Structure 1
Amino acid sequence: MNTPSVRNPENRASIKRLTREHFALYRGYLDGVSIEQLHATYGDAATDVRGTRRLIGLLRDTLSSAARRTRDVEATHLLRLRPGSIPDAERVAASALPTLAAYREAVDPNGFHSEAELLELYRAEYSQENAPLDRRASRNARLRRRQADALARMENSLVQAPQPDHPVSSWLEPAIADRLQRAHIYTLADLLGFIERRGHRWHAGVERVGPKAARRIVDWLSLHADSLGHTLSKRAVTPRRRLASNDPALVRPRQQGIVPLEALDVPALLDGSAGTNRMVRPAVDCGFDTDLQAINAWLTSRQHSLHTVRAYRRESERLLLWAIHAKGKALSSLSSGDCAEYIETFLIDPQPAARWIGSAKIERTHPDWRPFIGALSDRSRETARAILHAMGEWLVGQDYLASNPFARCASVATGPRIDVAGRSLSCGQWRNVVQSNTRVHYSERELRDFLALSLAYSTGLRRAELARATTSHLVKAVSENSRNPDNLCWQLMVSGPDRRIPIPQSVVELLIASLRARGLPGNPVACAPHTPLLANFRTGHSLTPDGIGQVFRRVLAGVIPKLARDPSTHWIRHTHSHHALRQGADCREIQARLGHAHLSTTRLYVKAVFVRGTT
């Protein structure tokens, strides 16, 4: 059995809650199963066989006491009998029969009968009908049946099923329960809620509880789902990578409250259909009548990178939820004063925190999702203002709003939007980074890390784009700098926005070496579809964006001391752009390669090049 052990967590003279596992253990004991086997099947993995032996003694005392209290005299006596006190009737009867060899020696020592004839004589003489009645064996058989019946009676009357309000210490192994309690998980209901919030890797939030122990706990909770009144969701027990983005397990039902746009059910009085800032009798029907429909139409019209679209959704979502739940207004009823209050007051400190602020690691599909992970910096507030101002202008242009309520909101004072000059490496620093990570012989991890560094520098990709890159995204095409159709080079296809980025031959060679070190074909085309370019060297799965960030931080901070406190993952992206522009690359070419929505963003890199000069 792989469920948590049934060992008593409190080591008292009796057991508070008897489970079916307890009775299964004691039934095996009465049937004569060895203590060692019982310990292997039911025992606590953290103790030796003596723990199971003590538990059996404790069960014997507990069951006898319970039988006495109910005046079940027979059970009181029978459940204290130890294995061997009632010999098995079949074993007793079998032990009285002679072997076939002994029968031959006694009946036919000279070998007169054939083997078949001797076997027929043996069966005739020792058949069940001709065997003498063994009254002792018959009595023992009856005693064993009565003992089994007594144990079944006690199980039916005493066994308890786990309930949500039961402490975890009453059901789980003491060491595991201890660790759960240190994570503020005190009851089974707390445990179920914690798993639902955290998902498949919930155990990462509990110190010294690993995947195997977590699997046993989840299996046990699933076994008792009926009595607990809760079946763990597919989202909670399935690794996220195994769920498609459109999997029903990830879909939240529509509801009112602080929920994402895709699950929001706006009350009819606040849906914006009668907003006070709505355009009166527009000349052309805009095609949407509520604020939520208008926001979705605006988001659909934004043909930018995935990162940009997520930012637009985040800001419009926050404003809509604030309008409904903090102001009690439709978004299309917000005034200029309301919008100024939102930017200048609310975003600085979203309160009440329990209502608005959650963890960055909670997915949008989870009930504990919140629109904020903390107060916004001045730069983030200015970004929100700019995005919402653009949305207001678009809605006015669509004849949905009569005026843009953010038109009079003052800009939030901030420093440079992208500090490229202060967050990129000089050519000399980059050479030091490359030299420090170059090896004659690489370990698999060192090779993977150097490939990540080189791929990021040569392409300027964001870490999320690097994490999504697979062999299926690699194609061979004519080099941009060559007119010879035979001069092919590898290119990486990137989405959001769609673009192709050439991969230098030196980086391709690192990729081939990395694939071979992982036991894969050296030719990317020969690899299985969607083989990640940057993989976890233990699991083989694609590195997450956070995992790639950790690689960059570790590599950079280990070479350049000043980066130890702030080794941002954007240093490599900025360095790529800075060096490319210094070498004469066109600004629009860099814009296309980086996937910038606006050329003005790329021009910040140009300014940085002139400010820093040649190093």
Structure 2
Amino acid sequence: MDFATPRKALRKEHFAFIRAIAQGVDPLKCWELYLRQESESVDARKVRTAIAWIRSEFAAAARRHSRPGLARLILIDVAQIKDLKLPSLDEFAQAEGLEDFSAAEIQQAYMDAYGRAATRAQRRTQLVHRQLEAIAWLETAISPRPRPGDPVGDWLAPALASRLSAAGMPTLFTVAERINSHGARWWAGIPAIGAGKAATVVKFFLEHEASLGMPIGDYARQPASALSAAQRDALVPAATALVPIEKLRLPAALDGAAGRFRAPSQHCTLQATNDLDAINEWLRIKGGGAQPDDAETNQTHRAYRKEAERLLLWSLLEAGKALSSLDTSDAARYAEFIASPPAHWCGRRQNRRWSPLWRPFEGPLAPAAQRLTLRVLRSLFSFLREQNYLVANPFSALRQPPMNLPLGSTRALSHHQWQAISAALDEGPDSELARRRARAIRWFYATGLRLSELANATCGDLHRVSVIDARRKTVHGVTLSVRGKGDRMRDVPIPQALILELSSELTRFGWPADVAEPVNRCVPILARFRAAAAGKPPPGWSDSGISKAVHRFMQRCASSLTGDDRRQVLKASTHWLRHTHASHALNGQDGVADSAMPIPLVRQTLGHSSLATTSAYIQADQAQHIQAMERFWEQNLQVGQ
């Protein structure tokens, strides 16, 4: 077997390059036009070397085709035959006043004047013409066609090829696969490859699509935001594979129609004949009538869909069972699986559901996430049992992973860390985006709202209230009506400073200052004012937009901190701000009890169904605990005496 380095393939750019050289175009300009790569410097020696290599390849090909004369012809450097720029016959006749002479007389006079120079120029013109014909013949006869298994170095510039190879794409096939799976920004994350080089690569594949047999999809040539619903839908075919639940096809033997634990169908209250139908019924009742990418799909529904989807895929692809045939031992195996899913089950969070790179997991689930998973699945099977679809719940007896730390204790910011964030907000730029971002962060901290709750809040949810306190004094304020988990409504008081800031932003963009004005009802709390269409309310900020903006701000803020402060702020998210609100509200300013809020009020603010959930945020100070126990003992000892 020949392990020699393969000969670099000639490309159509090489033929165009030599064709231009033969016609007298400056070699450096030819290189710029046909062979120069993005950000590559033009080197005269490199250009001369390239010309010599291409001509030698042309000559070798001509000899292989038994055309030795053509081989000698193609090696002639026409540029060495000096072009004297002689006048044409008409120009000569006009200059010499020979317009009335015959053509033969003019030709003779021309030869008398220029003689050998004219013959030499004529020969040069003929030579250029013959070389162009030779290049055209060679391009037809020897122009190679790329194949999927060809090394990238055979077809792409050396520097570009080496970068692709280093990124795990040594062949044309692997590059095309990357482009088609990642889309328009396939090059993101590959060192030293930007949009310009990426466009060069895509152009190559488009030009050689017929010989490669690997078409580049339309979606890979435009931003994801420009893709139509039909284009997205076509990216992932329906299959029994690692695909989103809406693309999953259940094999007849595993669809659950004859599941081991199915209840008699005549007693079932669900319009479901198989496991996928039953799951969709559960999701619909949980508030998920929307499509997978619909903005109206709420966060709770997405979380429930994710857990049901993962289990259904595992049941089919790993356990080889219908979901309605899973028993307690299967539930225990699944609990172990989510703690360490295989690599091929994992992908990046950024991979959208319509992408071929989508996967059910990002990696192993932390203990808290495992607890949530098992709780949701226990709820799913309880629902299916209550509706007489199943006769058993395999997750009901499963032991939950231990929760070693109090809720929020590792996902809450300290007072010092929050003060650093607050100071950074005060020093931020005076732009609409910066003000909106600051408003979001302050509202999350002040109210403990969930991401979806604040994203969906509008001025129409704000209400001015006047109530009488225990001292018979009138208290004025503003509350926000929030629809939380389980469709439970709650009223959350909003600090006056936040209302004043929102009022200022409304007036800045031509809306009434009073947040309770009827005309403001449709204006989102986190309105994107500059994106508003004429005569219409501004659109709100999406969940993902808020999350990304807060994350980026925390990254910048953390850069000025050190140690634990830096590490905590780097990890902070919108939900961390909810935990921070709970922790600071219940524990007071640096543990000062007088500044703490009563547990029932914090529970109402957060929308917790259980007081125990709210109580988990209380952080007992050991010194205070010891002192309190001493007081308890002393007081009770005195009573006994």
TM range (shorter): 0.7 to 0.9
Identify if the C-alpha distance between structure 1 residues 246 and 514 changes in structure 2 by more than 3 Å, giving closer, same or farther: farther
Among candidates 378, 397, 414, match of residue 386 of structure 2: 397
Offset of 1:52 from its aligned partner?
Answer: 2.2
Mapped to 2, the partners of 1:311 and 1:291 lie a distance apart of 19
Residue 432 of structure 1 and its aligned partner are, at CA, apart by 4.6
Q: Could you say if the C-alpha distance between residues 59 and 237 of structure 1 is closer, same or farther in structure 2, counting changes exceeding 3 Å?
A: same
Within the candidate set 442, 449, 453, 1:454 is matched to 442
Instruction: Verify: 1:48 aligned to 2:48, yes or no.
Output: no
Distance in 1 between the 2:477 and 2:33 partners? 62
**Corresponding position: 1:549 with 2:540:** no
Alignment equivalent of 2:359, drawn from 344, 359, 370: 370
Q: 1:356-397: per-residue Cα shift (whole Å, max 9, x none)?
A: 333434333333433223233332222222111111111112
Moved more, 550-559 or 605-614: 605-614
Post-superposition offset of 1:164: 1.1
Q: Which aligned pairs between 1:479-558 and structure 2 lie closer than 5 A?
A: 479-481=463-465, 503-506=498-501, 525=529, 527-529=531-533, 545-556=547-558, 558=560
> Could you tell me which residue of structure 2 aligns to residue 418 of structure 1?
407
Given that 2:270 and 2:281 are in contact with CA atoms closer than 8 Å, whether structure 1 keeps it comes out as no
| 1:318–1:371 Cα contact (<8 Å) kept | yes
> What is residue 110 of structure 1 aligned with on the other side?
none
Instruction: Return the alpha-carbon distance in structure 1 between the equivalents of residues 481 and 164 of structure 2.
Output: 46
1:385 aligns to what SS in structure 2? helix
Q: Which residue of 1 aligns with 2:564?
A: 562
- Aligned-residue offset at 1:410: 2.7
Q: Cα distance 1:404–1:443, how it changes in 2: closer, same or farther (>3 A)? A: closer
TM-score, normalised to structure 2, is 0.73
- 2:59 match: 64
Asked if structure 1 preserves the Cα contact closer than 8 Å seen for 2:240 and 2:251, the reply is yes
Q: Is the 8 A contact 2:326 2:394 kept in 1?
A: yes
Change (3 A) 1:77 1:580: same
Aligned 8 A contact 2:11 2:143 in 1: yes
Q: CA deviation at 1:179?
A: 1.7
Structure-2 separation of matches of 1:18 and 1:313: 53
Residue of 298, 302, 318 corresponding to 2:310 = 318
Alpha-carbon distance between aligned partners in 1 of 2:186 and 2:78, rounded to the nearest angstrom: 43
Cα pair distance change 1:575/1:383, threshold 3 Å:
closer
Please tell me whether residue 347 in structure 1 is matched to residue 324 in structure 2.
no
Task: Return the offset for 1:28.
Answer: 0.6
TM-fit CA distance, 1:514: 12
Alignment of 1:309 with 2:339, yes or no, is no
Name the SS for the 1:608 alignment partner.
coil
SS class of match (2:577): helix
Q: Deviations over 1:287-343 (max 9, x none)?
A: 110111111111111128733222211221122122222222111111222223322
The residue identity in structure 2 corresponding to 1:371 is P
Quote the residue 2:397 is aligned against.
408
Partner AA of 2:609 in structure 1: L
Question: TM-score, structure 1 length as denominator?
Answer: 0.76
Query: Of 66, 72, 94, which residue of structure 1 is paired with 2:88?
Result: 94
Structure 2 counterpart of 1:55, which letter?
A: A
Q: Distance in 1 between matches of 2:171 and 2:304?
A: 41
Go from structure 1 to structure 2 and tell me whether the alpha carbon gap of 1:301 and 1:67 turns closer, same or farther (over 3 Å shift).
same
Whether 1:335 aligns to 2:337 is: no
**Cα distance in 1, alignment partners of residues 577 and 426 from structure 2:** 17
Mapped to 1, the partners of 2:287 and 2:141 lie a distance apart of 67
Q: Which residue of 1 aligns with 2:72?
A: 77
- 1:32-47 aligned at under 5 Å gives the runs 32-45=24-37, 46-47=40-41
User: Secondary structure at the residue paired with 1:97?
Assistant: helix
Specify the SS of the correspondent of 2:175.
helix
Cα 1:248–1:207 change in 2 (3 A) is closer
Q: How does 1:376-391 map to 2 (within 5 A)?
A: 376-391=365-380
The number of residue pairs the alignment matches comes to: 557
Helix, strand or coil at the partner of 1:480 = strand
Alignment CA distance shift 1:531-1:231 (3 Å): farther
Return closer, same or farther for 1:489/1:260 CA change in 2, 3 Å cut-off: same
Seen in structure 2, the aligned counterparts of structure 1 residues 372 and 440 have a Cα distance that, compared at 3 Å, is closer
Task: Find the aligned partners of 1:66 and 1:19 in 2 and give their Cα distance.
Answer: 14
AA of the residue aligned to 1:75? L
Matched with 1:291 is 275
Q: Hey, what does 2:346 align to over in structure 1?
A: 357
Query: Is 1:599 aligned to residue 609 of structure 2?
Result: yes
Is 1:435 equivalent to 2:412 in the alignment? no
| CA-to-aligned-CA distance 1:149-190 (integer Å, 9 cap, x gap) | 211111112111222111111222222222222222211111
The C-alpha deviation readout for 1:168-218, integer Å capped at 9, x for no partner, is: 112222222222222222111111222333333332321122222222222
Structure 2: distance between partners of 1:156 and 1:65: 15
Q: 1:22 is aligned with what amino acid?
A: H
Partners of 1:290 and 1:440 lie apart in 2 by 55
Q: Which of 362-371 and 451-460 deviates more? A: 451-460
Gaps of 5+ in 2: 111-117, 289-296, 468-475, 511-526, 589-594, 625-641
Q: Is this contact kept in 1: 2:464–2:478, CA < 8 A?
A: no
Amino acid at match of 2:445: Y
CA distance in 1, matches of 2:285, 2:598: 29
Whether the aligned pair in 1 keeps the contact of 2:299 and 2:452 (CA below 8 Å) is no
Q: Is the 8 A contact 2:531 2:539 kept in 1?
A: no
> Which residue is 1:261 aligned to?
245
* Equivalent position to 1:608, from 588, 611, 617: 617
Q: Which residue of 1 aligns with 2:576?
A: 571
Structure 2 counterpart of 1:189: 173
1:56 positional shift? 1.2
Higher relative contact order (Cα pairs below 8 Å, separated by 6+ residues): 1
Distance in 1, Cα, partners of 2:9 & 2:271: 63
Structure-2 separation of matches of 1:494 and 1:55: 70
Q: Distance in 2 between matches of 1:488 and 1:194?
A: 56
| Contact 2:78 2:128 (8 Å CA) reproduced | no
Name the aligned partner's letter for residue 387 of structure 2: Q
How big is each residue's C-alpha offset from its partner over 1:86-141, in whole Å with a ceiling of 9 and x where there is no partner? 7999x7562661486x57xx59xxxxxxxxxxxxxx6xx59999974999577665
Q: Distance in 2 between matches of 1:27 and 1:412?
A: 72
Q: Which structure 2 residues correspond to residues 162-201 of structure 1 after superposition, within 5 A?
A: 162-201=146-185
Task: Confirm or deny: 8 A CA contact 2:151 2:170 kept in the other structure.
Answer: yes
Structure-2 change in CA distance of 1:274 and 1:98 (3 Å): same
Quote the sequence identity (%): 28
1:221 aligns with 2:205: yes
Conservation of the 8 A alpha-carbon contact between 1:452 and 1:534:
no
- Work out whether residues 28 and 42 of structure 2, in 8 Å CA contact, stay in contact via their aligned partners in 1: no
CA distance in 2: counterparts of 1:69 and 1:551, whole angstroms? 65
For the Cα contact (< 8 Å) 2:8–2:155, is it kept in 1? no
Partner residue, 2:220: 236
Distance (whole Å) between structure 2 residues aligned to residue 241 and residue 608 of structure 1: 41
Which residue does 2:187 correspond to in 1? 203
Q: Which residue of 2 aligns with 1:112?
A: none
